[in-house]
Structure 1
Amino acid sequence: MRGRWRLAVAAYACLMAAWVVGNPPFAAPDEWAHYARALGLAQGAWVGEPTREYVDASLSGRQMEWVVQATRLVPVPAGLAPRGFDCNTFFPEKSAGCLRNARAVPEAIHVTTPTGTYPPALYVLPGWAALRGTSPVSALLAGRAASALVCLVLLAGLFAALWREERGALSLVGPTLALTPLAVALSATLNTSGPEILSGMAFFAALLCLTRSESPPRWVWGFAAGAGAVLALSRSMGAVWVAAEVLLVLLWRGPRALLAPARARPLAAGVMVAVLAVAIALNRLWERLYGPRVHVGFERFRPAWKQARLWWQDWLREQVGIFQYLDAPMPDWSYVAWAALLVGLLAAALWTGRGRDRVWLVLTLAGALFAPVFLYIAVIRHNGWTVQGRHVLPLTAVLPLLAGEVLSGRVVDAARARAWALLAVGGVAVLQAVAWWANAHRSAVGTLGPVWFWRAPEWSPPLGWWPWTALVLAGAGLLLLSATSRAWRAPPPASTAHR
């Protein structure tokens, strides 16, 4: 039963593949803009030409002032520029069947993209892959697959770092609840939010693994450096997330927990620190050169706080999963079910943890709940925008990871541990399948269409719906199978506990 975490990784690989193909072309948030950015960068346009030609009648004056700062003209090769793929955007009752009328621009052109100055690192591989496509759809699928591959590597490291052989499936509870359906869906799109979220989870998991003992596995040092670098280079807030996660681990475990393994492997620790320092410096340099002008302030705090409270529930639901352009929600009961699983994990961690664990769990919970509120009041509202769940998920996902680490690190009755693991991971498996179905239903027949949309879909992915539905069910089955191993065993002798 060793390494049941590999079954979980295989499960998420199936889910990601189904999302790559089963999500309609350019249906993810601003995917067309990220697609153009990736293709431009693959042709050498690290930063395109400034332009004020981009116009969106749906945006206010303040929003346009913000957008135009990052808007650039970028080159798109002949036959790869999409046209008409937004025909059902913001019309959830309308299926993606109208995409049959979408076309490619036959000649090479320059297009405007509002993501023209986003940090370039995570566009390199998707752009290289997309450039080899022969149509907008094939190019996009190639770019999605490349981005999903990056996320899958981060996900594999996440599970490997948090796996405890002596605790079995109980150590899967934290990461499976952190990997919300939204995180899985975004990891399978051409959008830097996916790698940002997965690298945030992976970096935090690596830090937790490093602080478990004075002799953590050697590979974790390199993985922590890589995941932290991806996080820092992903988006504007990447460096902030790196600093916040390091600070949380140091405050919870104490500085000695990280200094002791660093003294044991000074070279590995030094390389990790150097890589993170360089990545953070590059992030700050890029933002200084090309980043938008950000106003931070708490003026008119009271009305902003009142407005934030109205959106609080939406932000929590979005972090679990509302797909496409926030117009493809899951069933209402599924959000309640996910919340119940998360609350159950927190309750179990608070019950089994020590006093210090409980204090930091409560503080982390408060931080996760307040993160979108703070970001909205202090920054986002000044530009006329609101926060989306994906914007804060790289940070808020540390809550279930922390709770899972506390729970799997304590001695728990074997029967109770098996029940907890099977309930939590099994529930997640079902809800991941429900999330994919909700998005597929909106795409195939629209939100008002028949529940059993497989019979007469108005839109279908390549090969039809059945192969990808089977792949989702296979992923859910593998995830459930990963939780059926023995969830707890007696700890190994002290001399081999951390080999």
Structure 2
Amino acid sequence: METLENQKDKWRSMPEINDVATYGGATQGAGGTVRRGGLFLRLFLVFAALGTLWAFATPLMAYPDEPSHAIRAAAVVRGQITAEVGHSFGNGVHVQVPSYIANLGSQNCYVFHRDRTADCAPPIPSNDNFDAIGVTTAGGYNPMYYWLVGLPSLFMTGAPAIYAMRIVSVLFSAVFFAAGFMALAKLRKPKWPLVSATIVVTPMVLFLSSGINPNSIEIAATLAAFCALLAVLDHAHSLRSRLPEIAIVAVSTVVLANTRSVSLLWLLCAVVTALMFFGWSSLKRMLGNRNVLVAIGFAVVGVVLGLYWMAVSMNAPASSGTAPEGIINPAPGVAPYQAFITMLDRTFDFLNQYIGVVGWLDTPVPSGVFGFWSMLFIATLLLSMLARPRKLTYAMLVSLAALVLVPAILQALLVTTVGFIWQGRYSMPLVLVTFVSAGMAMRTRTFSTGRRSQSVARLLLLSAVIAHVISFLYVLRRYVVGIIDISTWQTMISHPAWQPPLGWLVLTVLYSVMIFAVAQKFYSYLFPGKNLVRLPSAFTGIRRVS
């Protein structure tokens, strides 16, 4: 049986993998190297477009805890960074922000009421700009994310300002999603990791990238850091051409250290998993590179700043919102070990939240979507357990164990102070690490390009397109006409109670076209020269004539 080192030696003797040449439309330059700029731009535009469509389709403040985070962003960009004595009370931190932002909580009339449409929310007046007191439960969060997201509120007002803040958050996340996928494309044998990474881009991942909440950038930056580190370790013998991936790891580390207090723990899990795939020899080669050492120095500075902020927030006045999402709801009489076991019991309950439970976790997507993605998840994990050598499977199992155990440990530590607060979206960084790891474990398996594989891939990709579109449309239905026992699809066309920007029909068409175009491009990457949908002979004949 081939050892892992022998297998890696075989890969090293191969020329630069040509699979990446067609991924995302990237082209090859002199010497067969890939022009990363074109690939990164295409990936960035894809994630930015999909996230923006979700941002428009979801009513303002229909994203979890969005009012508090929007108020925090408007306060930070106006210089109100720390919680001061006398400004922190039982329900959060009091800050001075424009009145239309301070009153965003009034938009939540439809939250937890699936039969209530979004038109119950009052208009957000553009001229309501005088200073008012806003209350945020995110007053102890690191200001980095909020400073960027809050910038539009300095020169825009009303609903356009809030949508612009959302779009800034979308673009911020899209940068790191694009960087992560670009790094995966630079692996030797990149197809299986890219397949598994694409599978885990569920409707929930796209939804979470669309609102004002640091959870969005936390997910994207963890993916970027993990994928770029894999690419660096995979090319540890020739790091001179890996400067972009080295930079991605450093920048992602700094961002994670300055996002949420738990983000560094996700990074630690990602680093341990990556090292298990490649071992100490690759790590030693990597640490012997000057560029890597410079990147480590840069990352250390960012981590120190993040740790300093944690110390500042821990010493902040009481009730400054330093608990996760500002929730303080102790569970009296529940011991930490009981909370740990309860979290293990809930392991599979969180699966739906990895796929699609949107809004304030009050709107699950249709059951068929859950069934489809559950099948993909289970099949991916089971196939990765058949990988050889076994060391690859063990690395994937470590990431899977982290997904199950780390949230349970954190909840056990927090239960006596803030109660049961864990939601599936908090674990999304580890979900992405786990499924990319599954693809890494399968990397030694040949990716078949035969006719049967093409048919299976075509079926799965078209099904994924349908599942994505159904999820998007169902969420629109929830806010346009509400979800009741009697079908309301026909009412969406005849009597929509609420309309998003551009209208629900235009958004759905744009989303459908975008998702299908991505699926088409990905299929042609997996099977060069092949199309996801075969055009009728009449169309192909016209094309030949022209």
> Is TM more than 0.5 here?
yes
- Counterpart selection for 2:515 from 472, 476, 482: 476
Q: What is the aligned partner in structure 1 of residue 398 from structure 2?
A: 363
Contact 1:328 1:439 in 2 (8 A): yes
Gaps of 5+ in 1: 56-67, 490-499
Query: Shift of residue 256 of structure 1?
Result: 1.7
Please give the secondary structure, in 2, of the residue aligned with 1:151: helix
1:226 aligns with 2:261: no
Conservation of the 8 A alpha-carbon contact between 2:176 and 2:224:
yes
Which structure 2 residues correspond to residues 281-292 of structure 1 after superposition, within 5 A? 281-291=304-314, 292=322
Partner of 2:135: helix, strand, or coil? strand
Indicate the residue corresponding to 2:97 in structure 1. 76
Partner of 2:173: 151
Aligned counterpart, 1:204? 226
- Counterpart position of 1:451: 489
Q: 1:475 to 1:374 in 2, by over 3 A?
A: farther
Is 1:343 the counterpart of 2:383 in the alignment? no
| Bigger mean CA deviation after superposition, 19-28 or 403-412 | 403-412
Cα distance per residue 1:212-259 (max 9 Å; x no partner): 122252211111111121112111112222222112212332122233
Q: CA deviation at 1:164?
A: 5.3
Bigger CA radius of gyration: 2
- The equivalent of 1:435 in structure 2 is 471
The aligned residue for residue 500 of structure 2 is: 461
Paired positions, count? 470
**Structure 1 residues 321-332: aligned runs within 5 Å:** 321-332=356-367
- How far apart are residue 368 of structure 1 and its match? 1.7
1:259 and 2:284 aligned: yes
1:409 and 1:220 map into 2 onto residues whose CA distance is: 22
Determine the structure 1 residue equivalent to 2:535: none
Alignment partner of 2:438 out of 403, 407, 430: 403
Supply the distance in 1 between the matched residues of 2:398 and 2:93 (Cα, whole angstroms): 41
Where 1:411 maps in the other structure, the secondary structure is coil
Deviation at 1:18, TM superposition (A): 0.7
Structure 2: any 5+ residue segments left out of the alignment? 1-20, 26-38, 315-321, 325-329, 529-546
| Distance of 1:303 and 1:341 partners within structure 2 | 32
Contact 1:41 1:120 in 2 (8 A): yes
TM-score under structure 2 length normalisation: 0.79
Q: How far is the alpha carbon of 1:96 from its aligned partner?
A: 0.5
Contact 2:23–2:522 (Cα < 8 Å) also in 1: no
TM-score normalised by length of structure 1: 0.86
Query: Aligned-pair distance for 1:375?
Result: 2.5
Shift of 1:427: 4.1
Are residues 1:162 and 2:187 paired? no
**2: CA distance, partners of 1:466 / 1:100:** 23
TM-superposed CA distance for 1:184, in Å, is 1.3
Q: Please tell me whether the aligned partners of residues 203 and 355 of structure 2 are also in contact (alpha carbons under 8 angstroms).
A: yes
Counterpart Cα distance in 1 of 2:169 and 2:406? 26
Q: Which residue of 1 aligns with 2:28?
A: none
Query: Does structure 1 residue 250 correspond to structure 2 residue 267?
Result: no
How far apart are the structure 2 equivalents of 1:328 and 1:18?
A: 18
Helix, strand or coil: the match of 1:112?
strand
Residues 414 and 79 of structure 1: is their aligned pair in 2 closer, same or farther, counting only changes over 3 Å?
closer
Q: Helix, strand or coil: the match of 1:76? A: strand
Is residue 2:22 matched to residue 1:2? Answer: yes
Q: Give me the whole-angstrom Cα distance separating, in 2, the residues matched to 1:329 and 1:419.
A: 30
**Match of residue 392 from structure 1:** 427
Q: Distance in 1 between matches of 2:371 and 2:433?
A: 20
In the alignment, does 2:146 pair up with 1:123? yes
Pick closer, same or farther for the CA change 1:451–1:226 going to 2, 3 Å. same
1:51-70 paired onto structure 2 within 5 Å: none
Structure 1 distance, partners of 2:247, 2:202, is 26
Query: Do the aligned partners of 2:336 and 2:415 also contact (CA within 8 Å) in 1?
Result: no
For 1:150 and 1:383, the matched residues in 2 are separated by 30
- What SS class does the counterpart of residue 110 from structure 1 fall into? strand
* Deviation digits for residues 393-418 of structure 1 (CA, Å, limit 9, x no counterpart): 11232011111223345323322654
Check the 8 A contact 2:187/2:234 in 1, yes or no.
no
Q: Among the aligned pairs, what percent are the same residue?
A: 24
Could you say which residue in structure 2 is the equivalent of 1:179? 201
| Contact 1:148 1:187 (C-alpha < 8 Å) held by counterparts | yes
Return the alpha-carbon distance in structure 1 between the equivalents of residues 406 and 483 of structure 2.
Answer: 31
Helix, strand or coil: the match of 2:94? strand
> How far did residue 387 of structure 1 move?
0.4
Give the stretch that moved more between structures: 378-387 or 19-28.
Answer: 378-387
